[in-house]
Each structure stands twice: as structure tokens, then as C-alpha cells.
Amino acid sequence: MTESHAEAITFPFGRPDPFTPPERLASLREERPVTRMTYPDGRVGWLVTSYPAVRSILADPRFSSRRELLNIPVPFPLMQEMRRPADPGMFIRMDPPDHTRYRRLLTAQFTVRRMKQLEPRIHEITEERLDAMEKAGPPQDLVREFALPIPSLVICELLGVPYSDREEFQQTTAVLLNLESAVEDIRAAVARVAAFFARLIELKRAEPADDLLSGLVTGGELTDEELGNIGFLLLVAGHETTANMLGLGTFALLQHPDQLAALRADPSLIDNTVEELLRYLSIIHIGPIRAALEDVEVDGELIRAGEVVTLSVQAANRDPARFTDPDRLDITHPASGHLTFGHGLHQCLGQQLARVEMRTAFPMLFDRFPDLRLAIPAQEVRMRDTMSIYGVRELPVRW
């Protein structure tokens, strides 16, 4: 067992190329898949890199998601503010039984019927974005024109945001998600989004419709504060994640023309392509994060109660013990079993929706612009290296 804190590493960064995880992750996975790691505040916890260990911890109730217990392996300016229990409704950072209650209410709203109903709207939304790009002409930033607005508009559909409010909603969320926004602008945007949800909840109470928020409001089990925070959670969890999959996924396909050609030749490969991109890109590249509630032994290492564990999904998704030839993007080999949507109690609630968005948007983009290509050299594409969700900052394209 490892007792020496001196051996603790810091979270590895520095990718050899945009699609390859930091090499240190691979050597750790081989040599010591459960390893001591120092967090930026000086506390020592753990980094876990093998598929079986990451998966088993995600399924283990002795590891907590409670916000006040967590730590983040990269410097984060709002860390102090985070060290308190999650606000009512923010169930992604809660444990049972609180988590169970919210999750049950939300699962009842994420029905197969509702997801099916959204499909044609996702198609229309994508079509509108492509029309706008075509009209404006090349070059365009695919992130701004396509990858970010599609998930944002889909969340508007899901929550039932009126058309007249969508422009404002999109502008505010864009500030919220823009990496270059100043902290005070982000705080102001958070306040505007909160006021926006408060108005929306009032509207749904007065005129309930066939949307998720109306369903939650009329269910009568949640306070306005809980409802507002749930809206905010869905927005944050569903927007940036899907947007980065669309942006980075397009970059990956453009850089792997054989794979793009294979997809064009056989459109039925789209479902597997989406799974393979999720596995290969592992956009949740720093986490998920958990805290041990009691002493637990994993892979011969003793994780003590209170210690924080960063589970590297990107390392797990490239584990050769689980995936054949894991460092190759191959849309023809089965990609199921990846951990990009997490695993266990907190496994992504919106994964079916995210899949429909990707299954719709990628083929429509490549059909509309058969000659789509980068407008700058690939090595000049700026990456989101230190953000909790990996992706491209912008992706200038021509066609």
C-alpha cells in the first residue's frame, strides 16, 4: 500500500495532439491505476485511471457526490464557494436519499415519448442553423454557429421556453459558457438566468403546456427554488457537453477522413460513430469526482474516509484491457461500454437526448457541406485544455 505523500503527483496535462490524452495517464494506468494526487489547495487525494477501478468506484455507494465533500484537481477560482452543500434541486452533487427523490421526478419527465417528440424539432433546429451558415457564407466558426446553438435550442424545447424569449436566453447562456467571460459577467449572467427561470416557472404555472418544466410544476412536489435550480442544472449539464461533442466530434471526423468516408458510404454506422466519438473523445476529461465516506480498499490501495478521488474517464475509455486498439478512432468497431456518460446512480439523465442530437446533427452537417474543411491549419485550432469539459474553443470552417 502507498503511504508516502511525497509520491503524490499532480493532475497530468499536456496532450501530444488534440485527440490523445496526456501520456502520463496511460503510464499511470499501467503502473499504478489508483495513485496519490495533490489537489491545488494542497490536500492529497487520488487519481484513478483504469477502466475496472473507475467503473467500480462509480457504482460504489461508499463514494459520495456531495458537493461540500469534493475538491477539484485543477485551479478553480470559485472553489471556496463550492465547499457548501448543493443548492436545493442540484441533485448531481447529492447522495441518496435526496438524490433519489429528484432523480425519480426527473426520470418521469425524460420519457421515451417526449424524446421522440423532440426528434423532428432537433431536425428543424439543425436545418435552421445550417441555412444560417450557408446564407452568411464561409468561413464560419462552427462552435458559435452550430455546436453551441443546437443544444441550447433543444433545451429551450425541452423546458418549453417561449420563442419570444429564446434570443435573450441564448445570449445569456453564451456569456455563461464563454471561457473568456469575466467572473463578474458570469455572476451577472447567472443572476439573469435565475430571474429568467423564475419568470418561466410562473408562466408554466399559469399556462402549463406539454413540456418538462410544466410537468414538474404541475406535479406540485417541488418549490420554485428547486424548480429554478433544476432548470439551471439541465441547462449547464446538457448544453456545454453536447456542444463540445459536436465541435470536437466534427474536428475529429475532419482529421480522420477515412472514418468520415466510411460513414458517408454507410449512413447506418451513425449510431456506432456517435458511441465511438463519445469513447474516443471523452470530453469529461477531468472527472467525475467523488469523496470516500469510509475507508475503502481499491486495487490494493487504501482510500481513507474523506479523501477525494478523481476518476479519469478519458484514461478508462482508452484502457486496452477493455477496448481493442483504444487509441484508434474506428467507427466500425463496437464502442459500447464507454464511461463518457458516467455510470451508477448519477449516470447521465440526458444521454438519450444527447445521442439524438448528435445522430441528427453530424449527418446533416456533412450532407449540407460535402466539402466541409478547416479554415485554419489543424495545429492552430485552440483547445479547451484546462476546462472541465474538453473540446475546441472555436472551429473555423469553409465549404
Q: Which residues pair with 374 in a beta bridge?
A: 397
Out of 188, 198, 270, 348, the residue judged to bind ligand HEM by CB under 6 A = 348
392 sits near ligand HEM (criterion: CB under 6 A): no
Nearest residue (CB) to ligand HEM, 233 versus 364: 233
End-to-end CA distance of the chain: 56
CB-count exposure of residue 84 (10 Å: 0-12, 13-18, 19+): exposed
Rounded to the nearest whole angstrom, what is the least distance from the CB of residue 244 to ligand HEM in the complex? 8
Out of 147, 252, 316, 354, the residue judged to bind ligand HEM by CB under 6 A = 354
Pairing type for strands 296-298 and 301-303 reads antiparallel
With contact defined as beta carbons under 8 Å apart, do 331 and 362 qualify?
no
Out of 49, 71, 214, 242, the residue judged to bind ligand HEM by CB under 6 A = 242
Nearest residue (CB) to ligand HEM, 32 versus 72: 72
Which stretch, 42-50, 80-88, 337-345, 380-388, contacts ligand HEM (CB under 6 A)? 337-345
Determine the Cα–Cα distance for residues 224 and 94; give it in Å rounded to an integer: 19
65 sits near ligand HEM (criterion: CB under 6 A): yes
Radius of gyration of the chain (CA): 21
Give me 70's grid cell: 469534493
Site for ligand HEM in 257-296 (CB under 6 A): 283-284, 288
Query: Which positions from 138 to 177 touch ligand HEM by CB under 6 A, shown as an x/- string?
Result: -----------------x----------------------
Q: Which amino acid is at 194?
A: A
With contact defined as beta carbons under 8 Å apart, do 158 and 212 qualify?
yes
346 sits near ligand HEM (criterion: CB under 6 A): yes
342 sits near ligand HEM (criterion: CB under 6 A): yes
Centre a 10 Å sphere on the Cβ of residue 395 and count the other Cβ atoms it contains. Answer: 25
335 sits near ligand HEM (criterion: CB under 6 A): no
Say which DSSP state 85 is in.
P
Determine the Cα–Cα distance for residues 393 and 243; give it in Å rounded to an integer: 11
Site for ligand HEM in 38-57 (CB under 6 A): none
Residues at the site binding ligand HEM, with contacts judged by CB under 6 A: 65, 91-92, 103, 155, 233-234, 237-238, 241-242, 245, 283-284, 288, 340-342, 346, 348-350, 353-354
